[in-house]
Amino acid sequence: MIGNKILIIDDQPELRELLSSFLTSLGYETLTAENGQEGLFLLEQWPADLVTVDLQMPVMDGQGFIREAVKRWPDLPIVIVSGIDAVDQAVEALRLGARDFITKPIESFSLVKNTLDKALESAELIRQNRDYQHNLERMVDQRTNELEEIKRQLLFSLGKAAEFRDNETGRHVIRVGKMCGLIGQTMGLGAAAVKTFEEAAPLHDIGKIGISDLILLKPGKLTQDEWNTMKRHCEIGCDILRHHSSLKQSDESLYAHIIKMANSGSELSILELAMVIALCHHERWDGNGYPMRISGANIPLVARIVAVVDVYDALGSERPYKKPFSEEKCQQILIEGSGNHFDPDIIDAFMEIYPEIITIKKDWMD
């Protein structure tokens, strides 16, 4: 491999000169050192592609050099050039990381050439394989990130599709996602959990896809039967998202399992978190919500947060059946609902960051 750099470490000046002249004649660049310590110093200044090293030297012997060199340059090929009487030491040096062994006195320079060429070729193959693995991992990571981004965009579009049923801009789901993320952060969720929450929250009303327009867009008050149908959007949304999850049951015990999973403290995927939110975002702190009628801290935290944000944003938004309420009225309703409809701690967090909530609302106004 013409042009490679080879460092020759030997305490015998004649052998250093002989090897250097031979390798230079083959087109290699060479430097020489008389002990392992000097060799390490030169490698710091002059990164060689291969090192030949004697085992028996003063100051720092070959084994000492190899031990240190493999720590600093694990891919550096090292070839031992030492006497026949150092075979046991050579075996130990090979165990430490040397690639090959040439015995002194050198009787065949063609053997030297072949040994060094083989060591360089092996090192190059290792490097190429490492680069290939690195590039492959990078490509897999890139593709995984692309697929994750596509999934996020599809889920967001799905949430907007449901919202378009009764809000022609679909910006309600954007506001809900951003506000929920902000409150989640205030409530102590980590950065990764906040990001997942912000992406999952817009799917809270995905179940509206399964509700008739005659009910969803009715301008007047719903009958009891219509209201019972409307409330089904929580289970419908959960079931839509569950179709893509590992949970395949379809009975009440499944919903209980979903709540248990959400309260376990384990990290959930976007779909799993969205499933929890879709199912539980109309539960009430006092237990009078739907569909499970669970109460207090038994309601998953993310659902308790969405409950507050969803009601707040819906109160301040125009719908086919209502005009928007003023900010003062929205705040009043939330405060009055603290401790019965809503988790008091979340209402406190909401009020703490209220200016930032208003900023989100203005930035994503319908």
pTM of the model: 0.61
Answer whether residue 321 shows pLDDT above 70. no
Cβ-based neighbour number of residue 257 at 10 Å: 13
The reported pLDDT for the residue numbered 258 is: 83
The residue from 160, 178, 208, 361 that is catalytic is 208
The model's pLDDT over 273-306, given as tens digits with 9 standing for 90+, comes to 999 999 999 999 999 999 999 999 999 999 999 9
* Architecture in CATH for domain 5-133: 3-Layer(aba) Sandwich (3.40)
Q: Which residues contact 149 (CB under 8 A, 6 or more apart)?
A: none
Q: Where exactly are the structural domains of the chain?
A: 5-133, 164-363
Helix, strand, coil percentages for the chain (3-state, nearest 5): 60, 10, 30
Q: Where are the alpha helices (DSSP H) in 164-300?
A: 171-186, 191-200, 213-216, 224-231, 233-242, 252-262, 270-280
Q: Which range among 198-207, 242-251, 262-271 has the greatest average pLDDT? A: 198-207
Q: In whole angstroms, give the CA distance from residue 19 to residue 42.
A: 17
Q: Which residues contact 221 (CB under 8 A, 6 or more apart)?
A: none
| CA 356 to chain CA centroid, nearest Å | 28
The model's pLDDT over 79-91, given as tens digits with 9 standing for 90+, comes to 988 876 667 777 8
Active site residue 208: yes
Contacts 24+ apart (CB under 8 A), 132-138: none
Cross-sheet strand order for the sheet of 78-83:
29-33, 5-9, 50-53, 78-83, 100-104
Query: With respect to CATH, is domain 164-363 assigned 1.10.8.50?
Result: no
**Which structure tokens are listed for 80?**
């031992």
The reported pLDDT for the residue numbered 200 is: 92
